[in-house]
Structure 1
Amino acid sequence: MYKYLSGVFLLFVSLHVVAQQPTSPKIKILLLGSVHFTPSTQDVYQNKQINLTDRQAQAQLEQMVAQLSQFSPNQICVEVPTQRQSNIDSAYQQYLKGQYKLGTDEIDQIAYPLAKRLHLPIVTCVNYRGSFDLDAVTKYAKENNQTAQLAALDRFAGSTAAGVVAAQQEKSITDLFRFINSKDELTKNAAIYTAYATRIGQGSAYPGTDLVANWYSTNLHIYTNILRAIRPTDKSIMVLFGYGHITILKHLFESNPEFDVVDVADVLRQ
């Protein structure tokens, strides 16, 4: 009986000690989906180039950077392959010295000015370029009587892209970012893959599903690159990426108990 009671007491003490252990605070992460200011030639469905030459656009950008600075990220992760970190380091250092003329992409127009404002030493490259062969999907659909499914995908993706183009023309830059990071728009973008691309294929052939699997794999590698970049002292991270990546990245970080995913609308307030 004494041994039994002793065992129970020790178990109680152990559980009490574990319960008293302080838990590490979660890392806040802001996943900021972006349109490409200079549209990528690799994207099938593109937004229009954003005109950054006038004073109004620059004022809007400055206002958005000011709002993002309130989030105070310890790191800014950008859509540049990890292998190009030295190139980004060099450009950013030149920018800090006033020896670099900003280009028209979102990294130059958002990441660099924000990093400078926050006195960050670097801008972190975390991109991973995986396989994405849409031509194989198109070829299969045309050769296997699935042109109707291909046409449905094209209509939906085209309509989604057109909605973003319309928002570009009607909204301020901050409101555009709020729009493309809304739940509805992120779901539409993800549905191009989950609701349409996966329908292309029959029997033992899964060309559409394989395309989606490769897209998930690409984003999983990006997620891993972000995890690898995090330092023990980091309390908050901002990820600036094409908004098509955000739904998957958001799911991955929301499923990781070490992170607290911050809503873009809570940072970019109206």
Structure 2
Amino acid sequence: MIFILFLSISYGQKIKVLNVGTFHMAGTTDARKVEFDVNDKNRIEETNEIARMLAQFKPTVICVEVVPSENEGINLDYSKFITDPNHKANYKGEIELIAYQVGKLAGVKRIYGIDEQATASYNYFIWKELQDQVDSLTSINYMKAAFKGFDEVDELPSTISKIKLMNTKEYWEASINVNADILTHNATQGNFEGADEAAKFYRRNLRIYSNLNQIPLSENDRVFILMGATHTAFLNEFIKRSPKYELIDLTDYLK
């Protein structure tokens, strides 16, 4: 009876969210990266086409992988990008090539950084560095298989095909496993070394979600989020259960 009651609760109109994962186009310190030349004219044209398709979502707010303390700086940079065709953007890669372009095409007034770095440092490599583990084979075997899957991204011929793959359920689940859940198998007897490292990554992504929730939004807003695909995977899990937001299918726009 209680379960049925909760299902019947109405929260009013939800805010539509287009949550898109990408690789970092201007380089990254992440353990894995996709090769991408930001000066290649063909790649630039590809990102322009992606931006044109995503702009059809008609966002009113854009969120990117920048910490909130940089909001003033990124909005100044974005404003110059919109008004001055000769401006060289300070925020490179996918922010300039996709987020700024989507914003310009859709008439977005403001960009928000929602990243969180205070809890960003964790030992991702504990799965192979921890000594005397109760079970090391589960992580090792999973990682080997997952890395082969992630290598498929590099092998795809176009930027749009890479982004499409990075926004599939299978890719998101593998990203969460590789970066967090699989580490729970790495522990010495009676301890939680891997789980504690995974918790740090969960904490970072929960704080990213909290940053999103602190943005002043109305039910008429439409939010476009562009972040590294692993953050997208976590945000999808949080957003899909939210009473406030409605996730929009990327395939409605990225053809």
- TM score, norm. by length of structure 2: 0.85
1:120 alignment counterpart: 108
Contact 2:56 2:106 in 1 (8 A): no
Contact 2:64 2:95 in 1 (8 A): yes
2:12 alignment counterpart: 24
- 1:178 pairs with 146, 164, 183, which one? 164
Give per-residue Cα distances to partners, 1:73-101, cap 9 Å, x unaligned.
11010000011112112211221231521
- Gaps in structure 1 of 5+ consecutive residues: 1-18
Q: Does 1:244 align with 2:230?
A: yes
2:207 alignment counterpart: 221
Residues 1-270 of structure 1 mapped to structure 2, 5 A cutoff: 24-41=12-29, 43-48=30-35, 50-98=36-84, 99-102=86-89, 104-129=92-117, 130-134=119-123, 137=126, 141-142=130-131, 144=133, 148-149=137-138, 151-152=140-141, 154-167=143-156, 170=157, 172-193=158-179, 196-232=182-218, 234-269=220-255
Moved more, 205-214 or 192-201: 192-201
Contact 1:69 1:118 in 2 (8 A): yes
Contact 1:153 1:197 in 2 (8 A): no
Q: 1:149 to 1:134 in 2, by over 3 A?
A: farther
Moved more, 244-253 or 146-155: 146-155
Contact 1:95 1:101 in 2 (8 A): yes
Give per-residue Cα distances to partners, 1:154-205, cap 9 Å, x unaligned.
42443233122112xx2x2222211110112112222214553111003332
In structure 2, distance between residues paired with 1:132 and 1:179: 27
Contact 2:13 2:219 in 1 (8 A): no
- Gaps in structure 2 of 5+ consecutive residues: 1-7
Q: Aligned-pair distance for 1:230?
A: 3.5
1:4 alignment counterpart: none
Contact 1:78 1:123 in 2 (8 A): yes
One-letter code aligned to 2:88: K
Give per-residue Cα distances to partners, 1:8-59, cap 9 Å, x unaligned.
xxxxxxxxxxx9xx96321110110011112312x112222x1233332222
One-letter code aligned to 1:202: T
Using the aligned pairs only, state the percent identity: 21
One-letter code aligned to 2:218: P
Moved more, 182-191 or 64-73: 182-191
Moved more, 260-269 or 155-164: 155-164
* 3-state SS, counterpart of residue 77 of structure 1: strand
In structure 2, distance between residues paired with 1:194 and 1:81: 21
Larger radius of gyration: 1
One-letter code aligned to 1:235: D
In structure 1, distance between residues paired with 2:248 and 2:196: 31
In structure 1, distance between residues paired with 2:25 and 2:251: 20
In structure 1, distance between residues paired with 2:147 and 2:131: 19
Question: Which structure has the highest helix share of the two?
Answer: 1
Contact 1:131 1:214 in 2 (8 A): yes
In structure 2, distance between residues paired with 1:54 and 1:139: 37
In structure 2, distance between residues paired with 1:195 and 1:120: 36
- TM score, norm. by length of structure 1: 0.81
Q: Aligned-pair distance for 1:143?
A: 5.1
Let me know the Cα RMSD of the aligned residues.
Answer: 2.5
